[in-house]
Amino acid sequence: MAKQIGHLISLLALAFSCFAFAFESKPLQDFCVADPNSSVFVNGMACKNPKQIQANDFYFSGLHLRGNTSNPFGLMVQPVTVAQLPGLNTLGISMVRIDYAPWGVNPPHTHPRATEIITVLEGTLEVGFVTSYPEYHLITKVLYKGDVFVFPVGLVHFQQNVGNETAVVIGALSCQNPGAITFGNAVFGSDPRISSEILAKAFQVDKKVVDQLKAKF
Ligand SMILES: *[C@@H]1O[C@H](CO)[C@@H](O)[C@H](O)[C@H]1NC(C)=O
Ligand SMILES: *[C@@H]1O[C@H](CO)[C@@H](O)[C@H](O)[C@H]1NC(C)=O
Ligand SMILES: *[C@@H]1O[C@H](CO)[C@@H](O)[C@H](O)[C@H]1NC(C)=O
């Protein structure tokens, strides 16, 4: 009996360690349309008065438009997060359209708060992500029109258009405010800059190389 109780207690401990959340994981009302003017700071954005919401609070238009990819990456990302669509606040979901010029690259980045699932509408893409366990394993695949691929939450991932034509992707993310950290910008383009001594040591290169990279961001 004592042994069984012991088992029960360890099972309960396991259950709580897996399922105890430090924050509320689901909305506690129909919706919480973001009020960008509120000076209240909460985990997310404060809600507009529900009696003043309108259809347009739940609406965004423009994902049919091609992005302008005339930039060094050959890339344009059109997010539809709580910043563009206030009705997404607290709902744990958002969207994105990504346009790639031929050979355009969405450089290695991570969404700290979201898993991302994409589908290819046009073109051919090489995509990939890197695992933390097993350590630094690259998972990569070439995607064609209609293919779907998922980037697990928090992992570093990238895409490249490996065709001679433009490519278009629609994606969904499991957070209304997924965040994006692009490694080049975070490491070489932070404000203020990380010292070149640190980066030269970290990347085992000459400070001149670090300064060259810093100049790009
Ligand atoms: C925020 O405040 C501005 C200026 O007062 C106003 O024009 C705008 O409609 C407000 N936005 C919302 C969502 O209430
Ligand atoms: C696309 O972006 C480039 C670089 O910012 C700009 O020069 C060009 O006018 C833009 N093209 C269109 C169609 O907006
Ligand atoms: C891209 O165009 C080049 C030159 O026209 C051709 O050799 C190559 O096969 C094309 N690649 C793809 C993926 O279509």
Element (H, E) at 143: strand 138-143
DSSP character at residue 198? H
- 142: pLDDT strictly greater than 50: yes
**pLDDT tens-digit map of 20-52:** 455 666 778 999 999 999 998 888 899 999 999
| Average pLDDT, integer, range 79-91 | 96
CB of 43 shorter than 6 A to ligand 3:
no
Report pLDDT for 184: 95
| Average pLDDT, integer, range 51-60 | 97
Q: 27-179: which CATH topology?
A: Jelly Rolls (2.60.120)
Which regions of the chain carry the CATH code 2.60.120.10?
Answer: 27-179
Taking the C-alpha atoms of residue 21 and residue 43, their distance in angstroms, rounded to an integer, is 14
CB of 164 shorter than 6 A to ligand 3:
yes
Which one has a higher pLDDT value, 186 or 1? Answer: 186
**pLDDT tens-digit map of 168-200:** 999 999 999 999 999 999 999 999 999 999 999
| Cβ neighbours, 10 Å, residue 133 | 6
Please state, in angstroms and as integers, the Cα–Cα distance from residue 88 to each residue in 10, 31, 94, 148, 175, following that order. Answer: 39, 8, 7, 23, 9
Best CA proximity match to 187, nearest among 141, 156, 144: 156
**Residues of the chain with pLDDT > 70: what percent?**
88
pTM here is: 0.85
| Ligand 1 mean position, distance from CA 68 (Å) | 29
| Average pLDDT, integer, range 109-133 | 98
Ligand nearest to the CA of 163: 3
